[in-house]
Amino acid sequence: MSKIGIVGAGIIGVCIAHFLKLNGHEVILFDKNDPGSQTSFGNAGLFASHECVTANSPHLWKNIPRMLFDKNSPVVVDWFYILKNLPWGIKFLKNCTSKKVDHIAKSLSNFSRHAILAYDEIFNEIDLMSNIIKKEP
C-alpha cells in the first residue's frame, strides 16, 4: 500500500483519490479551498462527454498576426517568452491541421467516454444514480 498525495480537490482529484483508495492506497487531497468549490462548482453539475474542443485549430494560422499585433487583441505578448518557447509553439502549430485537430478531438472524445463510465461507477457506489439525468447530445 502506497501513501499518495493529490493536489486539487475538484472532481478529477476526488475521483482519482476514490479509485486509488479502492485499490488499497492511502490518499490525501491537498487544496487551499473546499473540495469541489472551484472549477467543479461552476459546471452546473454537467458532465459533458460530447464537448471535445481542441485548443488547436486550422484557423489559428490566419488569426496569429491579429492576435500578436492588434492593440485591441486580448492576447498580451511577451516577446522574450515567445522566443523562449518557440520550439513548443512550432510543435503546437504543426498540430493545427484539420487532420490533426480531428484526431485529437476523437482522442478526447474516447477519453471522455471512459470518464463517464468512471463517474457512473462512483455514482452507483454512493447510490446517487437516481439523481442523475442522462441526455444524448
Convert the pLDDT of each residue in 81-96 to its tens digit: 889 999 998 999 999 9
Q: Indicate if 62 and 126 belong to the same structural domain.
A: yes
- The contacts found for 17-23 with CB under 8 angstroms, 24 or more apart, are 18/122, 19/118
* pTM for the predicted model, two decimal places: 0.56
Task: Give residue 37's domain range.
Answer: 1-46
Same domain, 55 and 41: no
In this structure, are 77 and 105 located in the same domain? Answer: yes
Q: Write the DSSP assignment of 95-115 as a string of letters.
A: T-SHHHHHHHHHHHHHHHHHH
Q: How many domains does the chain have?
A: 2
Structure confidence at residue 128 as a pLDDT band (50, 70, 90): confident
Q: What is the pLDDT of residue 65?
A: 86
Q: CA distances (Å), 114 to each of 20, 123, 128, in order? A: 16, 14, 19
Q: Do residues 25 and 64 share a domain?
A: no
Q: In this structure, are 126 and 95 located in the same domain?
A: yes
Hey, how many other C-beta atoms are within 10 angstroms of the C-beta on 115? 14
Q: Which residue has the cell 498576426?
A: 65
pLDDT at 49: 66
